[in-house]
Amino acid sequence: MTDLFNPTEDHAALREMIRKFTEREVLPQAIEYDRDEKFNMGLFRKLGELGVLGVTVSEEWGGAGLDAVAATIVHEELSAADPGFCLAFLAHSMLFANNLGLNGSDAQRLKYLPKACSGELIGGMCMSEPNAGTDVLGMATSAKKVEGGYLLNGAKMWITNGAVDDETLGDVFLVYARQEGDERHALSMFIVEKGDPGFSLGQRIKEKLGMRASGTAELVFEDCFVPDDRLVGERGQATLHMMRNLELERVTLAAMSLGMARKCVEVMNDYATDRAAFGKRLRDFGQIQAMIADSYADYMAGRSYVYTVADRLSLDSHGNRLDSDGVKLYCGRMAKQVADRAIQVLGGYGYVGEYHVERLWRDARLIEIGGGTNEAHQKNMTRDLARQRQLK
């Protein structure tokens, strides 16, 4: 019988490799980098040595050439230790490398992807703006055609990997912008490099509730010149690029919720087994049993949903928005609730950083906002169900 969570031997081997790496390298540094709001660049580049920074990128361009299930595995395992670090990985591997691998020209892939897959370049994607988050088509960043290229003007907000420290930009970004005269739904996508004239770091965003080990920033474009060969695909066709990538992004964000929930279940189960009160182990009390058992059931329900969707997700097409939204909607709420129960089981120890669940509770909250809010998913899913009218 096929294992839903490890469909092939390669998937099982990948999970074992990433889990061992996570336990050895990622978990020990998580509290420090969260507390100091630092991005661990050295650890990030070790993922390049493992060959997973381009997990879905073709081997021709330096990637591992694996599928959506493999991407799901990596995100689940990394997030069981450090979701903030995993978010930086997601922005690089899914939003930049996978996106460019699917939509870029061969010349663009050759120039950027081998270095992105090795970790020599740190990439990201720029979509949200100070006044346009969920309303992506309301973005105001403009691209004006000039001789030899384009001038970009505007600002992007909440950009993961936008800054690798307080003063340093990430290396390369895919930037969505609107060209003059194009319809509202017609967006174009450009490659912008650190050092391009007119491209600068606006502000490094600090004191986030969670995900503090990833660098979040505002990026500013002031007559930023981008040459013609950095337009990705055709003018006005980037909305399609966006749709292709959003489905995978949402599945991997849901996988991050799985990792957080799994770690919380493990912590509360261990604590309730080892800790005694009133002459009995905590796990012998009905209230504690309910929190642990409900959390495990919720985690496994979400896990089954996520891996089912990942298994049928095609990387080079779109059309599965109903369930890519659905897994993120369900799992984002689920992970937050499981982390909340874990804090309750541990009591005072759950409220401090030593047992990790306090940090995971803070990190879990982002999944209900980033990559699409719960409300946006509900809107999308209701529309898709109305079109479908009959469940298969």
C-alpha R_g of the chain: 21
Q: How far apart (Å, rounded) are the C-alpha atoms in residues 189 and 127?
A: 10
CA angle centred on 196, ends 194 and 201, rounded to 5°: 55
Distance (Å, rounded) from C-alpha 108 to C-alpha 114? 11
Q: Please state at what angle helix 357-364 crosses helix 238-274, rounded to 10 degrees.
A: 150
Tell me how far apart the alpha carbons of residues 71 and 49 are, in angstroms, rounded to a whole number. Answer: 16
Q: Please tell me which residue in 37, 76, 249, 368 is annotated as part of the active site.
A: 249
| Angular region, 276: left φ>0, alpha ψ -120 to 50, beta rest | beta
Query: Residue 249 contacts by C-beta under 8 Å, 6 or more apart in sequence?
Result: 90, 94, 95, 371
Contact status, residue 166 vs residue 218, Cβ threshold 8 Å: no
Buried b (16+ CB within 10 A) or exposed e, 125-157: bbbbbeebbeebeebebbbeeeeebbbbbbbbb
Nearest to 26 by CA among 58, 52, 2, 6: 52
The yes-or-no answer on residue 249 being catalytic is yes
Which active-site residues does the annotation give? Answer: 249
